Structure formats: C-alpha cells, structure tokens
C-alpha cells in the first residue's frame, strides 16, 4: 500500500488494484474559486485518484526538495525487500556530510542508525542524510540518480528526470505537478498502471508510498532530534508547517530554491477522506502553505467519497446459468466501486450493471463476467469488474451425482 502512495506522490505520491482503478482524468472544476498564486497546482482525491482542479499540471518545472520523494521511495522499497534494515548502521562520507542547504549536520565518518537518517530526511528534508542513504544503496549519488530515473520510467513518469538525491539545483532535473503528488491504493495494486503517468503518481502515494508505516511514523512529527556521538544534538523541525497548523495534515514534502521558488506536496486525512494538494513555484514560503491549505479546505468542504460497492460484495442479481445443474449463480465486485461526489449533486450519481443474460458452464470462480458502472447524469465515469462467486462445473455424470447427493442431504 505504501508504494502506491509515494509512487503516487511521485505521482502525487492513494487502495485499488490496477484493473479496478479508473480515475477521472479530466479535472472536475474548470476554474478555482480563489486565485492560484503559483506556477503549477494540482488538487486530487487520494482514494479515487480523481483530479478536482489543476493549473499547468503538465508543465515541466524544477521542484527542489520534492525530488526527495523518489529518494524516500527507493529507501522504503529497499527496506521492504530486505536489502537494508532500520537498525543498520551507516557510515557518513565526507561528501554527504558536506552537503549544503537543509541538513541534519551529520559528522563526516560518523556512524548512525539508518532509522535516524531516514527520520531526518522525511522530517527535516536533510540533504546530508539523503546523500548518505543514496551512497549506502548504490555506492554513489550518481548511481543512485540513475536508479531514480529507472524507477521513474517504470512508474511511467516520463516528464521527470533526476540528477541527484537531494533536489539541490542541478541542470536537467525537473518534474511536473502531477508527478509531485503521491498515490493511494491497496498493497497489491501497481501504483501507476491505471493512471496517466502524472495523475497516477499521486494516487500511488497512499497506495504505495504514503501508506508505508515507517513513512507515517516520521512524516507527522513536528519536532524531533538526532543525538550525535559525543552528545551533540541537532534539532529537527518539519519543513511542512501544515503538519502543525492544519488539521489532519500528515505529509508530504516541501522544497525551495531560487529557480524552483517555493513548493509543497501536502496531504491531509479527516475521517475516511484524504486529499492531496501540490503547489509548485509559489512566490513565497508562506503563500505555498496558504494556497495548499485553501485547496485542502475546498476539497474537504465540497467533496466526499461515495462507495456503491465494496470489494467482495455480492450483487443483488442472480446470473442465469446454462449447461449445469444450477440454474443461477451469484456474482460479486472484484474491488470497490467508489466515486468522488460534490456535495449537493448526489442525485446525479447512479449505478448500473452490464451483465450477460446467461453464462454457460464451465466457468471458473473469479471469472470476470461483467461490470458495475458508476454514472454521472447518465454518463459512464468509472467501472469495476463483476466476477463469479463460485465455480460452475461442466455438466457430466459425476457432477450430476454429486449435485443430487448434496440436494438429498
């Protein structure tokens, strides 16, 4: 689940399988109710991947430390694959310790638990920790950047290119607002397969990235510290002030350089609803947080998720069967059928089924036989597969005897 979140964060770094994910790719809102004072903006529902509004979301832009989303993703994937552990000790190189910008002030040659480096990377956007982790995984930051680009291609993020692990200014490093957003879907889902590269990225965050327990353990912390050898202490303050001042905020990443200006990829959850707001190229640090807060407020106040069917729910229709003793069979939803609904427009949403008049034996349990379709004003918006709840054996003497026996009992 966590991979989809970060992948989606990367892809707007939120819990569905690829065959079930049918996000609305056209923004629901053509105009924002307030000024979008930033170069690029994206507001998305994490659960369905539905884009509420956007501005220049496909425009390639430098994103500063938002780059670290991919760094975090690769570290978390390595943890899941058992290549590294949180308890593992990491020796910090002179190059890593000498990084500029935001830092954990690591000692060159110092030895730190991997968990401390990851904590400082997520909370304080520490460049030295980013490089130390990159060197641990790939031997050098250059090799790590190559791995970042390979992973970006696997996720379909064709408008993203990485040069380093930290996001510090570098020629040729860029992304889009759609890709700066994390994703949200279930653990088995492949983060970006069902989306356009960009919009798919964000939903993937909760789906594959934000959902990782280690990520959330750190991302919602406002202040912490690292204790160095000899007792020296570095205070870690979350670069995302929404964590402290916005109800439900629990991620994801900030960034700022002279070229990128001020950026934030922010996610917040209230009850069962989670939304993601991406702001790139805001004129000031305060304005990026102000705009992100306005975007999230607009989403929470005006939208909610309506679920027509949940995964495994048996539909209220029996499917006629031919070529078998059973005259009908039950069917269920392969995954959730959910849509993002604007408050006051509930009556415009309906659901219908596209099912065969009859299925002929033999059929396997789990065989896809139709779809459940969500419609807005009569127009198809999304659908999920409907599958058979049980096997339909081919009619034969053994099957007939077995059926008669069980009916007699």
Phi, psi at 34, each rounded to 5°: -150, 165
Place of tokens 């510290």: 225
3-state secondary structure 325-336: CCCEECEEECCC
Active site residue 68: yes
* Catalytic, out of 65, 129, 219, 265: 65
Report how far apart, in Å, the C-alpha atoms of 365 and of each of 37, 319, 345, 385 are: 53, 13, 37, 13
The pair of structure tokens assigned to 291 is 């705009």
Residue 65 annotated to the active site: yes
**Are 19 and 212 a contacting pair, CB within 8 Å?**
no
Closest CA to 15 of 43, 47, 54: 47
Catalytic residue among 68, 253, 261, 294: 68
Interatomic CA distance for residues 144 and 164, integer angstroms: 8
Set 40, 125, 166, 265: catalytic member = 125
Q: Which helix (H) or strand (E) holds 234?
A: strand 233-237
SS3 251: strand
Question: Residue 130 and residue 109: Cα distance in Å, rounded?
Answer: 16
Q: List CB contacts of 269: < 8 A, sequence separation 6 or more.
A: 46, 248, 250
Two tokens, residue 338: 């959910």
Catalytic residues: 65, 68, 125
């Amino acid at each position: 689940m966590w991979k989809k979140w970060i992948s989606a964060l990367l892809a707007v770094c939120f819990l569905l399988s690829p065959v079930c994910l049918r996000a609305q790719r056209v923004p629901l809102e053509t105009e924002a109710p307030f000024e979008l004072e930033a170069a690029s903006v994206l507001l998305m529902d994490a659960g369905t991947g539905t884009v509420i509004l956007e501005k220049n979301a496909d425009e390639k832009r430098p994103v500063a430390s938002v780059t670290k989303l991919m760094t975090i993703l690769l570290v978390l994937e390595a943890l899941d694959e058992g290549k590294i552990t949180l308890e593992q000790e990491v020796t910090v190189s002179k190059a890593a310790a000498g990084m500029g910008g935001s830092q954990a002030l690591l000692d060159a040659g110092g030895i730190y638990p991997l968990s401390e480096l990851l904590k400082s990377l997520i909370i304080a956007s520490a460049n030295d920790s980013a490089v130390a982790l990159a060197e641990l995984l790939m031997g050098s930051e250059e090799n790590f950047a190559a791995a970042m680009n390979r992973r970006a291609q696997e996720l379909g993020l064709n408008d993203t290119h990485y040069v380093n692990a930290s996001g510090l200014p570098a020629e040729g490093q860029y992304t889009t607002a759609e890709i700066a957003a994390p994703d949200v879907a279930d653990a088995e889902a492949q983060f970006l397969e069902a989306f356009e590269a960009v919009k798919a990225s964000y939903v993937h965050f909760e789906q594959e990235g934000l959902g990782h327990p280690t990520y959330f353990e750190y991302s919602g912390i406002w202040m912490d510290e690292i204790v160095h050898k000899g007792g020296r202490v570095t205070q870690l303050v979350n670069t995302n002030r929404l964590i402290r001042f916005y109800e439900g905020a629990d991620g994801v990443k900030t960034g700022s350089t002279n070229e990128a200006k001020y950026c934030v990829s922010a996610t917040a959850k209230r009850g069962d609803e989670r939304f993601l707001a991406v702001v790139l190229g805001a004129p000031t640090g305060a304005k990026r947080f102000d705009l992100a807060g306005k975007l999230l407020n607009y989403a929470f106040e005006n939208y909610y998720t309506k679920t027509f069917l949940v995964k495994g729910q048996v539909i209220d229709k029996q499917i006629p069967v031919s070529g078998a003793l059973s005259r009908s069979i039950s069917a269920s939803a392969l995954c959730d059928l959910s849509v993002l609904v604007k408050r006051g427009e509930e009556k415009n949403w309906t659901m219908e089924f596209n099912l065969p008049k009859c299925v002929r034996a033999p059929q396997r349990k789990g065989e896809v036989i139709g779809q459940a379709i969500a419609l807005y004003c009569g127009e198809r918006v999304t659908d999920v597969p409907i599958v058979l709840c049980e096997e339909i054996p081919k009619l034969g003497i053994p099957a007939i005897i077995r059926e008669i026996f069980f009916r007699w009992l």
